[in-house]
């Protein structure tokens, strides 16, 4: 079981709810993924006017836990205000904290991220910060009170997969007890399996599922890949070797004259 701020969940797949072609397609993807947590942007739902209430009611009926996010925020005060509004709307202390610093790469502004995280944790929020794979930033977020980290493996929506496996290995090794959820950049089920094989605890997806020809099937594929990667990590992966090693013993083999 995955423990996130004292909440235990069986599924290690978190699913975003944006960019689906219809609410029914989203609902199907959520069901087939077996996820227990979905992310919702307060800005998106507020912009939808009356449709926002209907959307949240649909999510509630799916029986999943909501992780509101501050998507689209570019500064500390904006992110903090959005988080406070989300807490009132969704009735949860959970918040996925995003503070974007670059318009092209959507890379987090890590300085503003740490400051916003410190403010929110002091006000009782349980923060899930969307961050880079930088170890120093991770340490600062922990010092700010974060008990979960969400490093990217590539920029949002690129579907590039893990661009820096060494950095991901390092952050996993430096924080062995911290729940680490890879957020952003996953494009294929094989990418998800790869990061889970590195020892990460979960994966957050959106575009790779919502943008698929059949989001329901893709959600199910990702769920299977994440489970496989986790099981492989727990079983102990065979490390690459420089030389060939025979799988059949050479001692005691038959000799023909």
Give me the active site residues, please.
96
Inter-axis angle of helices 165-174 and 135-143, nearest 10: 30
207 marked as binding residue: yes
Residue 184, annotated ligand binder?
Answer: yes
Binding-site annotation: residue ranges: 157, 184-185, 206-207
């Amino acid at each position: 079981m995955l423990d996130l701020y004292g909440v235990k969940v069986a599924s290690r797949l978190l699913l975003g709810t944006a960019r689906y072609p219809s609410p029914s397609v989203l609902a199907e993807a959520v069901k087939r993924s077996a996820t227990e947590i979905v992310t919702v942007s307060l800005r998106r739902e507020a912009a939808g006017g009356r449709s926002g209430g209907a959307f949240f009611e649909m999510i509630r009926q799916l029986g999943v836990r909501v992780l509101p996010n501050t998507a689209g925020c570019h500064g500390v005060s904006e992110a903090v205000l959005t988080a406070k509004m989300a807490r009132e709307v969704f009735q949860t202390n959970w918040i996925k904290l995003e503070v974007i610093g670059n318009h092209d790469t959507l890379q987090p502004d890590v300085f503003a991220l740490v400051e916003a995280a410190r403010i929110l944790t002091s006000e009782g929020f349980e923060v899930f910060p969307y961050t880079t794979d930088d170890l120093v930033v991770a340490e600062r977020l922990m010092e700010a009170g974060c008990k979960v980290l969400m490093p990217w493996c590539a920029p949002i929506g690129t579907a590039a997969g893990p661009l820096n496996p060494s950095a991901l290995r390092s952050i996993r090794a430096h924080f062995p007890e911290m729940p680490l959820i890879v957020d952003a950049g996953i494009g294929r089920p094989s990418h998800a399996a790869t990061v889970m094989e590195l020892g990460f605890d979960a994966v957050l997806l959106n575009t790779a599922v919502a943008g698929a020809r059949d989001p329901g099937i893709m959600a199910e594929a990702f769920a299977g890949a994440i489970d496989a990667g986790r099981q492989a990590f727990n079983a102990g992966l065979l490390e690459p070797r420089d030389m060939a090693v025979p799988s059949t013993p050479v001692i005691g083999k038959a000799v023909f004259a």
